[in-house]
Structure 1
């Protein structure tokens, strides 16, 4: 088991795993860009298929917008099974929920899960630092169990120190529950690094309770975002969290894309699952690891990024004037829209299943 720092560490190991595949490759990502590092993945996947490996690729129709059709054509020409999850045409039929998972499984023996898609953003390019993100490389029994449950909907898989959750319909609530359990059990320190931080009131209350009972709670959040107005929606929560004793750090060096937490330097949670309304209804993954060595590596990653981040104080939230008012209005509007959109998506899926 290894914690991987962004695409710079993850991509070479993922490509080596594909190159060594003898039986099966399953790649499932939200976004897959064909150029740059994506071309290396296309070559590796094609070579695997040509030597007789069963290769399947699933990409999301929205996450890979503009890429999915050409990507599918290229892969199918090599004999690879391709699925575009809810392509844009499906919007006309009301199928608007997304596949947000990031999974590479090779020979049911090695797996990579986390927040990293396939694209040049996630690794340094010509002096430009890559997005801040994390992935886990897993080996052993948990990979075989994952291979058996990839198409089984909501699943909870356990092997040794690893618990792996796959969300199905409404399964995001189970993943949220693992975060809440970790917060409730924390005794000394919790650090959460989350790119799109739009938690519900219950989750905010859990953070405040942890801080008020003496747990050191840190939030590493995006000082800039690839999603318009997402930061404004997050900033509206700053004042109430800071007053409760939660410490906030904004990462501005690059785009923060991580979805992870470390509890008491003993437990790591990492995956594709965001603490926002949409992850409650999309297809997601969450890996929970009770391993001191991996948790220590994650702690070092968190501390390194917090040390290079901008601390946010209560005085930063008390500024008066039009800017603060606009921030509150825009942030609240974005948060409410996300909540209502997620509720609408969930209701559509329920009606279809019923």
Structure 2
């Protein structure tokens, strides 16, 4: 795995835009040397303009500011938004700029799904929250429920080095650069479990050497669980081995609670997850649907000792195609706090799924349909990888003439 456990960290949970944006905008605006920001979505709305203002403040103070956005997630940033940043010296780049055919975006696969910020090498932010107003309650019934963490301590250096690799290394050499960085961390012995503060690891996935690292951390925690597994994930359709580990945990007496979408932003996501319900519930797994608003979180807690917060969903694209980043924490205080926040929603805003008993013919049809869809989706990443072998493009943004 591409993770290195580091002790001595302070990990703070930030919930929804109300908890996240004030902290990250303040940190960016006060930056003195460097801001590294990677995000899937950046919109020119109320939230995007607040970030815009903070980035300008940092750049005008003399800080080096680097912003990487995903071309699919952030396809329509206007010149009025990008030009002031570029003129202030902000380095703006797009990962795989959007491609359109007859006006429709077509290059959906293999996205840069990180939500990362590092300021001056002193603090970092990792999670699932984008820069758009739909992460604030004022957006209304479709406002997203989501989580991030603020990190202070030695782990910040790992996150900073990862983001700097995306800035400094030429694209073909990036894998080699990361290998040297990880080897140097091992030589320094950062895996030793010593020191005060939270023990934490920064775990990423790519489409090269580290395709399954996040999933493997999840599975290791599930296999070692003794009391309770609580997973809150927006897009839940993991692979066979992940599901097998969950079922085995439930059968050995572990309480397994899945906190999933009841009011999804995309209906097909819920329909896919529902194909797994019967298979999981027969093993004693509890499934709760969150009905207050769309769930966008990607978090989990095991035995109130292990926890993770990040950008990775538990579906084929996140686990097998997208570039993702999670923080994993071994700290009882943090794990209990995160568990408590989810449990509060589970008790007040969720409905426990109770499957009706279908007739024999319908039951057989459900089993066949679930098997076909499951195997098609679990092989989807392999099929999609065969459609392209080239390295993804990272393109600097420029000030183009206004077409109007």
TM-score when normalising by structure 2? 0.79
Structure 1 residues without counterparts, runs of 5 or longer = none
- In 1, the alpha carbon distance for the partners of 2:261 and 2:106 equals 34
Call closer, same or farther: CA 1:74–1:277 in 2, change over 3 Å. Answer: farther
- In 1, the alpha carbon distance for the partners of 2:86 and 2:373 equals 39
- In 1, the alpha carbon distance for the partners of 2:79 and 2:359 equals 49
Q: 1:57 aligns to what?
A: 67
8 A contact 1:59–1:68 mirrored in 2: no
Q: 1:312 aligns to what?
A: 353
**Correspondence for 1:133 among 136, 139, 146:** 146
Structure 2 residues without counterparts, runs of 5 or longer = 1-10, 166-173, 192-197, 393-404
- In 2, the alpha carbon distance for the partners of 1:178 and 1:267 equals 10
Q: Deviations over 1:5-31 (max 9, x none)?
A: 111101100011011100001111111
Alignment partner of 1:43: what SS?
A: helix
Q: Give the structure, 1 or 2, with the largest relative contact order (CA under 8 Å, sep 6 or more).
A: 2
Call closer, same or farther: CA 1:161–1:242 in 2, change over 3 Å. Answer: same
1:34 aligns to 2:44 (yes or no):
yes
Q: How many residues align?
A: 351
Displacement after TM superposition at 1:224 (Å): 1.9
Q: 2:116 aligns to what?
A: 103
What does residue range 87-126 of structure 1 map to in structure 2 within 5 Å? 87-89=97-99, 96-125=109-138
Alignment partner of 1:125: what SS?
A: helix
**Correspondence for 2:200 among 158, 162, 179:** 162
**Correspondence for 2:301 among 244, 262, 280:** 262
Q: Deviations over 1:279-305 (max 9, x none)?
A: 122110011101111101111111011
1:12 aligns to 2:53 (yes or no):
no
Call closer, same or farther: CA 1:328–1:21 in 2, change over 3 Å. Answer: farther
Alignment partner of 1:113: what SS?
A: strand
- In 2, the alpha carbon distance for the partners of 1:305 and 1:275 equals 20
8 A contact 2:142–2:294 mirrored in 1: no
Q: 1:142 aligns to what?
A: 155
8 A contact 1:101–1:283 mirrored in 2: yes
Q: 1:297 aligns to what?
A: 337
**Correspondence for 1:342 among 364, 378, 381:** 381
Q: 1:272 aligns to what?
A: 311
- In 2, the alpha carbon distance for the partners of 1:245 and 1:69 equals 54
**Range that drifts further, 21-30 or 93-102:** 93-102
- In 2, the alpha carbon distance for the partners of 1:69 and 1:319 equals 56
Displacement after TM superposition at 1:335 (Å): 5.3
- In 2, the alpha carbon distance for the partners of 1:95 and 1:127 equals 27
Which structure: larger Rg? 2
Displacement after TM superposition at 1:70 (Å): 6.1
**Range that drifts further, 143-152 or 37-46:** 143-152
8 A contact 2:204–2:213 mirrored in 1: no
Q: 2:289 aligns to what?
A: 250
Q: 1:83 aligns to what?
A: 93
- In 2, the alpha carbon distance for the partners of 1:15 and 1:183 equals 35
- In 1, the alpha carbon distance for the partners of 2:218 and 2:54 equals 36
**Correspondence for 2:252 among 213, 217, 224:** 213
Q: Deviations over 1:320-344 (max 9, x none)?
A: 6999999889877775665454223
8 A contact 1:7–1:130 mirrored in 2: no
**Range that drifts further, 69-78 or 213-222:** 69-78
- For the aligned residue pairs, the C-alpha RMSD in angstroms reads 3.0
